[in-house]
A and B are shown apart, each in its own frame.
Chain A
Amino acid sequence: MDYNPFSLEGKTILITGGAGGIGSEVARVCSKLGARIILTDIREEALTMALDTLSKHEGKEHLAIKADLTDADELNGLVTAIPEIDGFVCNAGVMKLVLTQFITEEELKRIQSINLNAPILLTRSLLKKKKINRGGSIVFTASAAGVYRVSIGNAIYATTKCGIDAFMRTVALEYGHKGIRCNSVNPGMVETALISGFTEEEKEKEMLNYPLRRFAKPEDIAFGIAFLLSDASSFVTGSALKIDGGMTLS
């Protein structure tokens, strides 16, 4: 039986934040589903390590390209360097907890430039340079934060993710007629370096808000992204897919 509507065979997929917890898992899952992967991240060593973990296919070499997406030259260099793609997973992001009264302009600009400006500018360049094939799929890693709930100390991050939500829906509206779909996944807490700032005590308390009584593993998010990249989701565009173990239900 080789029936598999979720196959990514024949697709080339660009993944930002590809050295991170979620990004590297998305790359592994997509490579197992048959895709050719182009990974990019600012951390070169971790990027090479992530590349080594991908499932190999004959005649389709995966690529890793180091780039700081907040640097216009490096962003343009990345767009020029890559071949045409069928999937774009826009996933690089950072978080810092700080109460509103302690927000500095510097931190605001830093977090916005990675979480919001870079995704917008990179999507723009990929579309303008016609790097995304007809039938292509764009997936943002937004968050439950901002879009479905807010929490103490997370104002900047939540604001950037709300921005991504609006941008995602706008791109879906503008590019549907070209056969390009655009969606997001919206995770709750995922076990990656991003949430290493929380103490075990804080995590235990937070877990009580999760009906499934655990946080996500990177794989839980990767499977959602793989679905949105596959032709199984051909009629899905402009959707924000919550993957949060039920956390936002109450």
Chain B
Amino acid sequence: MEINDFIQHFAEQFDFTDSGEFKADTVFKQLDEWSSIVALSVISMVDEEYGVTIKGDDIKLSDTIEDLFNIVQSKA
């Protein structure tokens, strides 16, 4: 599992946010476009791309994209 791939998949769940905004240390819940719908997309993306089931609580516990990546990696 590659963090850069993860960041790219993560970014694909957004429509308006500039792709340059997405880095490992991006605090994603502070992005204007972040919403509960995007959160649901991220959960499905993780299932589809990595075959890993994460929950709303895993997102709640993550501040940065890398935090979430680490959770996904630990469950893979």
Contact = CB atoms under 8 A, between A and B. Distances in A.
Task: Classify the secondary structure of A's interface with B.
Answer: loop
Interface stretch (A21-29, A73-81, A96-104): A96-104
12 contacts: A97-B40, A98-B40, A99-B37, A99-B40, A102-B41, A102-B45, A102-B47, A152-B37, A197-B55, A199-B60, A201-B56, A201-B60
A102 B60 contact: no
The 5 closest A-B pairs by CB, nearest first: A102-B44, A199-B56, A153-B40, A199-B57, A99-B40
B48 interface: yes
B57 A152 contact: no
B45 to A, nearest CB: 8
Interface string B37-54: 100110111011000000
Interface of B: 36-37, 40-41, 43-45, 47-48, 55-57, 60
A152 B56 contact: no
Nearest to A202: B56
Nearest to B48: A102
A99 B44 contact: yes
Contacts of A175: none
Given A102-B48, A152-B36, A198 B56 contact: yes
Interface of A: 97-99, 101-102, 152-153, 197-199, 201-202
Contacts of A101: 41
Contacts of A99: 37, 40-41, 44
A202 B44 contact: no
Contacts of B48: 102
A101 B13 CA distance: 11
A139 B55 CA distance: 33
Given A99-B37, A197-B55, 17 more contacts: A97-B40, A97-B43, A98-B40, A98-B44, A99-B40, A99-B44, A102-B47, A102-B48, A152-B37, A152-B40, A153-B40, A197-B56, A199-B56, A199-B60, A201-B56, A201-B60, A202-B36
Contacts of B55: 197, 199
Contacts of A98: 40, 44
Nearest to A102: B44
Nearest to A153: B40
Contacts of B56: 197-199, 201-202
A236 B43 CA distance: 43
A98 B45 CA distance: 10
Nearest to B38: A99
A184 to B, nearest CB: 28
A99 B41 CA distance: 7
A202 B57 CA distance: 10
